[in-house]
Amino acid sequence: METPQDDYLEQIECDVLAEHSGVRVAIQRGQRKEYDALDDRAQGRFLAVMKRWCDDPSQLTSEMFNGNEGRTPRHNAMLKAFKNNTAKVRLYGFSVADKKMFIIVDIDTAKKQTKANTRILKRAKSRIDDFLDQYGKKGI
């Protein structure tokens, strides 16, 4: 049986990656192929961190999650990132408060250093602004 939350995900063209305690982490379908190409170990680590984020983001270490990668230029939304320093991958997205959801809009699989790539940060911020232009910014 489809829920209003499932209908919302279909409308914004996203798939659920993790769900726990009534909170979801979703990914835009355009990014799904790149996420699915990650090795099983990296995906497993991300899923564990995502479930912990669903329970309480404040319990995540800076090696797992960065809650402040800067704000987007047009909508002033906060860019955030799930991190896997072993696999050298970051998943960029934002929180939708009224939907109890985190939406991943960009992936950096070529991270070669601890510090984030400024070009990819800029691209991720632009993708969030484009997403919000298309689907609205209610609840961020």
Per-residue pLDDT of 20-52, as tens digits, reads 989 999 999 999 999 999 999 999 999 999 999
Q: Which domain holds residue 120?
A: 4-135
Q: For residue 135, give both structure tokens.
A: 């689907």
Query: pTM of the entire structure?
Result: 0.92
- For residues 85 and 77, what is the distance between their CA atoms, to the nearest angstrom? 24
Do 71 and 79 form a contact (C-beta atoms < 8 A)?
yes
Per-residue pLDDT of 48-92, as tens digits, reads 999 999 999 999 999 999 999 999 999 999 999 999 988 889 999
- CATH number, domain of 106, equals 3.30.2310.20
Residue 140, in any domain of the structure: no
How many independent structural domains does the chain possess? 1
Q: Which helix (H) or strand (E) holds 91?
A: strand 89-96
